Amino acid sequence: MYLQRFTNIPGRVASGLLLLAALLLAACSSTGPAVRDDARATGNAALTRGEDGAMQVSPAAQTLFEQAAATMASGDLLDAELRFKELLLQYPDIPAAQVNLAIIHSSNGNDEAARAAIDAALQIDPDFAPALNQLGMLLRRNGNFPEAEAAYLKAVTVSPEYALAHYNLGVLNELYLQRLDIALQHFEQYQALVGDDEQVEKWIADLERRVAANQRTANVAE
């Protein structure tokens, strides 16, 4: 059964509906001020695209999604998984539900199930930025750094204001690809979109010093 009744939601209102889902972060590691969070992921609201391309939402689906998201945020992942699966039985065209299932599967160490959920989300909407971001995280965890970068870059291409993909591009380029200048650019883009992440602000200052030092070393070598 497909979404039948849609309600147009202005961007700012829809953004408000995302706040609960934004709590759904995958596990991060941070052991000190010089250590970057491994990655960040989030679901999204129960949104789909109408024929005009605008983001639209079914009120009934939104309610079910928010209930599942609240359960997930409480840490009851088993119940949340069941709720998202039940939601998808009624409303199979919600990529965000698949993304949250992927986050749950990833937290349980089930990469195969996580990839299946991501693929399902991207089959519904190939340009769904949270699914592309989650795909990048999965690929990065498995050492597929170029493919992870491609997924993140597609996310910020189709959705330039999707801050988390910029964050993960910063992590990938600094810690795994050793491209400090590019990492700095993405952390700066993330900070410009989020505006209040004090930890990332410290990382930006650190990267600025390191990039400048590398440039001085290169100039001396020349």
What is the model's pLDDT at position 139? 98
What is the model's pLDDT at position 221? 64
What is the model's pLDDT at position 196? 83
The answer to which of 52-61, 117-126, 196-205 has the lowest mean pLDDT is 52-61
Q: Locate 63 and state its tokens.
A: 């309610």
In a 10 Å sphere around its CB, with 0-12 CB exposed, 13-18 middle and 19+ buried, how is residue 197 labelled? middle
Q: Which residues contact 116 (CB under 8 A, 6 or more apart)?
A: none
d(CA 40, CA 50) in angstroms, rounded, equals: 28
The answer to which of 4-13, 64-73, 187-196 has the lowest mean pLDDT is 4-13
Q: Is the pLDDT of residue 22 over 50?
A: no
Instruction: Count Cβ atoms below 10 Å from residue 155 Cβ, excluding itself.
Output: 26
Q: How far, in Å, are 53, 79, 100, 124, 181 from residue 153 at the CA level?
A: 21, 33, 21, 19, 16
Average pLDDT for the chain: 80
Average pLDDT over residues 156-163: 95
Average pLDDT over residues 42-63: 60
The answer to pTM > 0.75 is yes
Average pLDDT over residues 189-214: 94
Q: Which residues contact 155 (CB under 8 A, 6 or more apart)?
A: 129, 130, 132, 133, 136, 162, 165
Domain boundaries, the chain: 1-26+39-125
Please give the class, per CATH, of domain 1-26+39-125. Answer: mainly alpha
